[in-house]
Chains A and B, each alone.
Chain A
Amino acid sequence: MLYIKCPYCGLRAQKEFSYGGDATVKRPNINEEVSSEDWDNFVYMRKSPRGKHIELWQHIAGCRQWIKVQRDTATHEIFQTAKVTEEIR
């Protein structure tokens, strides 16, 4: 079970979180024209990297904030966590 540092609450067990997928995907702006290719990429296309991956988790059984987690998909090592408004690099 992973140990995830919520930027608001501190280190908490994975049980308290739910997974939210790739955090680098950006939704096309509302009320703006978008090509079907860009839209399809946004809805369906996801990378499945082996190694570092920036992903979203929601602290559903805690503060309910969505957070960013940089995790190694092969080893589960967590390098960094951040608020969604912050950058991970």
Chain B
Amino acid sequence: MSQPFRLNKEGLINRNKKISFTFNGKKLFGYEGDTIASALIANGIHLVGRSFKYHRPRGFFGAGVEEPNAKLQVEFNGHSEPNVNATEMELVEGLSATSQNCWPSVNFDVGAINNFLKMFFPAGFYYKTFMWPKSFWYKIYEPFIRKAAGLGVASIEKDKERYEHKFEYCDLLVTGSGPSGLASAYAAAKNGAKVILAEDKPRFGGTLLTDDVSIDNLSGKDWAEKIISELKSMPNVTVKNRSQVFGYYDHNMLVMFERVSDHLEKKSKFTPRQRLWYIRAKETILSTGSIERPIVFGNNDTPGIFLSAAAKEYMKVYGVLVGKKPLIFTNNDSAYETALEFKKNNVEPIILDTREEHSSELIDEAKSKGIDIRFSHGVIVANGYKKVKSAKIGKLNKDKNSFEKIETVDCDCICVSGFWTPSVHLASQSGNKLKYEEKIDAFIPDKKKQHETSVGAANGSFTLEESLKHGFENGSNLSAKITETKKEISIPNVNEKKYGAHDKFWCMPLPKNENPKRFVDFQNDVSVSDIEIALREGYRSIEHVKRYTTLGMATDQGRTSNLNGLQLVSNIENKIVPEVGHTTFRPPFTPITIGTIVGREVGMEYMPTRKTPMHEWHEKNNAVFVDAGAWKRPRYYKQGSETLFEASKREAKNVRENVGICDVTTLGKIDIKGPDVAEFLNRVYTNAWMKLPVGKARYGLMLREDGIVMDDGTTTRISENHYHMTTTTAQAANVLSHLEYYLQIVWPELNVNVVSTTEQWAGAAIAGPKSREMLSKLYPDLDVSNEALPFMGYKESEFFGVPSRIFRISFSGELAYEINVKSDHGMFMWEKMMEVGKEFGNQPYGTEALSTLRIEMGHVAGPELDGRTIPSDVSLNGLVSKKKDFIGKNSLGREAFNVESRQKIVGLIPIDRKSSIPEGSHIVQDQNAKLPNPKLGHVSSSCWSVENNNPFSLAIMKDGKNMIGKKFFAVSPLKNKSIEVEVISSHYVDPEGKRVRS
């Protein structure tokens, strides 16, 4: 197996290590250090994909992040990834790459018919064509377009890889290891600053790897190696390759994407695939370099057409020729270096220079080497369908808009250079308004908005001498401000070739009667004529032109197309580019994986899991858990083949008939201390709190300032200045913040302290008619009679030697108690209760039974206190004091809260006494009414009443208090159910509340 386009010696690849891979099923090989792109080109393969809209054959265009075409579906390490940039992905053993957006194959693609129908696919085609009829969109047009267009296919397999997040701080972050980046990092490191140097590519050095320069008598590459190894040896420096800083966010936070192990054949189980770094930098050096832009000409998207610097990089870094009969098409001197490199490797290029005959150091050198240079020339149109075969070239007249002579020359590749565009993405993201620099026909950073400094090519300085000087100076000055140390650094001697001025020429004219596609944006198939149409149709703002034509969108974000697009708009509009402005640069600079963004926060690690001290017991006893915020709560304890419905019915019935225990550890608990607690509670709760005696609990209702119920719960006075508040599980954190807000900001004069003790106490409720008997066995020395421990009473006593708190409070509506012990004793308490409770028929019950018990009692909870209800809506207006002021009181007088037909809680039972009413059902008068059917209310909670053995629901209904006895329909379109119901009181069981006091 030979590689026809691999050079014998050139390149930085490891020729001792062959790597085999497949492309579209074909077995190929490359070398360690190759990208997929360089390995394919070495094998003579250029046709790798089909374009987005016209399905035109596409090949490689660049050699790195700028690549608009070569996006492949790549399978490696057991996963499949779409839209992988072939010019960036390093070759690994066994990798398999396939072309996207083509069917049945990249060689014969049915979709290419679009190319021949291209007159029917102008800008805005989809907007115009598929508008009508409206109903066709979802079923016919959209699926068809989705199938025809698009990039790769996302895997539906679970991603088994590990991704990580890392937080880091530094004095100076340097983004890019070209000459200016290296110089900055070096100077700052010498000053003792904490430096992070990030390089996107696997190799450090940027253009030093490919430019024919010397620094202090070392080649660019050797100098870069020397600096990097010195930086690596310094403890205050972190040097990272394969790491791209892709986003500049507020307050100098930058985010970096590190490809940790995609290039490794073997890795340990714990090595992440990729890592996201959040870096808070005091100062940032943006040394992101520049990207070559093309000149626009006919069929300029044909495979075999490259950016000239990419062609040079393939030779110098990978030892690969992009062609053996190259045309170099340029408006500046930099492409001459590519030509000289071809020449050095015994390939004869022809240079077409749009400038008139003149001389410069590089031109003279090319001439002296005998290279065929044709001034005032350019490529008009490339010939060849799947690969360039020849080109029609023209000699331009002085006006550069017509031709003196046109001829056709054979070639197998065209290397194009339309000068350089600084990569200003990060600067722009930082808030820097860019300015247009006439001299280079591109935008560069203007006044800084954050602590960012652009240096080198990213700042529009294209000479090595200037880049190094700026790098050293800025690195030194910025770090000296932080470390207060300034070491002298001598700026090295530089040997580089002097470039002449470039030609402000960016689009080749067309001869009369010729109309080939001239692409501005390859990835989105946006041609010159598309932009002309958009402007003709009245689009003026560059942002609108972008959205109408899709210029500069998609994964390459217009890296090679934006400026040419702007030039085109400004020419047609007769404006200058700065007036047209530029579109917004948004992170990420290049696509990053979703896995990296998510990091370790997947599955169990998505959020913390809160377990009660009794969790293990629940697990051992077949509890089925339910998530309550971060808590795991037993939903029911499964016996045999019981269903949820059967188990919860059994558990609830047992509470009503005997006794049950429930883990209530998750309830929010707030410890409150201070001489002003009573006054504070009096302001926080709607009911009166000034006279609560020590050793008593009280139920309280909390409102927001707008009068809506926020939370409910009990608060117990433990001692003179010490209270214990409980909140619902869901609102625990909000209530604490709420209390802190009032104590710190509104009433700082109140001497009160609050602290969360939710995790400090384990809680168990004992509920049911036999709970007192059970309690007396648990506390044999304590008087637990109704007189000694009445409803809302409180006692402290030892629970088999362990300190405990006993509250006589009830959520189930039964005679009930809640016992709290320190968390460490939770399991002991629970096991003891199970042991002692046996003789009373005690069974544990879960949240499902708990809900059943509270619903049939008409006790409200989260579904009723849904942020839309005021106290009277949920029949709790008895708790609202008329005498004192409290949070939210003034809002209760609002007109809408006091209208006669105000919503109110009611109970619902199905007429057939059998059909369960789905929660969320709407209550309507007529189930067959024309839509929209007027909604009279909604079902908030549903259960199977164990007391009455039929379904029962709570609902919030308009004019609820006057609806008792009436019949309606509860309809649930989601469950496709409509159930006839009768409205009854919300207190279905024990409306007088006798049991809790018994």
Residues of chain A having any CB pair with chain B under 8 Å: 1-3, 13, 18, 20, 27-28, 30-32, 34, 36, 39, 42-44, 56, 58, 60, 64-66, 75-76, 78, 84-85
Contact = CB atoms under 8 A, between A and B. Distances in A.
A13 B249 CA distance: 12
Contact of A36 (B705, B740, B744, B893): B893
Nearest to A11: B280
B741 A2 contact: no
A66 B252 contact: no
Contact of B280 (A3, A20, A27, A44): A3
Given A31-B885, A36-B890, A76-B250, 4 more contacts: A3-B251, A39-B891, A42-B705, A58-B740
B705 A1 contact: no
A56 B890 contact: no
B604 interface: no
B629 to A, nearest CB: 15
B408 interface: no
Given A1-B249, A1-B250, A39 B741 contact: no
B706 A43 contact: yes
B377 to A, nearest CB: 49
Closest 8 CB pairs of A and B: A3-B251, A39-B890, A76-B250, A31-B885, A66-B744, A84-B745, A30-B885, A27-B746
A60 B251 contact: no
Nearest to B252: A3
B683 to A, nearest CB: 6
- Chain B interface size band reads 20 to 34
Interface string B890-905: 1101000000000000
A3 B253 contact: yes
Interface string B851-894: 00000000000000000000000000000000011000011010
16 contacts: A1-B251, A1-B278, A2-B251, A3-B280, A30-B683, A32-B885, A34-B890, A43-B705, A58-B741, A65-B744, A66-B741, A75-B431, A76-B250, A76-B251, A84-B745, A84-B748
A27 B733 CA distance: 22
Contacts, number: 56
A35 B706 CA distance: 15
B745 A56 contact: yes
Contacts of B280: 3, 13
Most B CB within 10 A of own CB, among A1, A28, A65, A78? A1
Contacts of B167: 13
Contacts of A60: 733, 737
A78 B748 CA distance: 26
Contacts of A31: 884-885
B449 interface: yes
Contacts of A20: 741
B893 to A, nearest CB: 7
Interface of B: 167, 249-253, 278, 280, 431, 449, 683, 705-706, 733, 737, 740-741, 744-748, 884-885, 890-891, 893
A2 B746 CA distance: 26
Contacts of A76: 250-251
B250 A66 contact: no
A39 to B, nearest CB: 5
Contacts of B891: 39, 43
B890 A58 contact: no
A5 B554 CA distance: 38
A1 B253 CA distance: 7
Nearest to A67: B744
A76 B429 CA distance: 13
Contacts of B449: 75
A79 B733 CA distance: 30
Contacts of B747: 30
B268 to A, nearest CB: 30
Contacts of A1: 249-251, 253, 278
A7 B431 CA distance: 27
Nearest to A68: B745
A2 B278 CA distance: 12
A1 B276 CA distance: 14
A21 to B, nearest CB: 10
Contact of A66 (B253, B745, B884): B745
A40 to B, nearest CB: 8
Given A27-B746, A39-B890, A43-B706, A66 B251 contact: no
B744 A84 contact: yes
B548 to A, nearest CB: 28
A2 B250 contact: yes
A28 B747 CA distance: 11
Given A1-B278, A36-B893, A66 B705 contact: no
Contacts of A42: 705
Contacts of B744: 65-66, 84
A18 B278 CA distance: 20
Contacts of A13: 167, 280
A34 B683 CA distance: 16
A89 to B, nearest CB: 18
Contacts of B249: 1
Contacts of B733: 60
Contacts of B683: 30
A5 B280 CA distance: 14
A58 B741 CA distance: 9
Nearest to A75: B431
A75 B278 CA distance: 20
A43 B167 CA distance: 39
A8 B885 CA distance: 33
Contacts of A75: 431, 449
Most A CB within 10 A of own CB, among B167, B733, B737, B893? B737
A13 B279 CA distance: 11
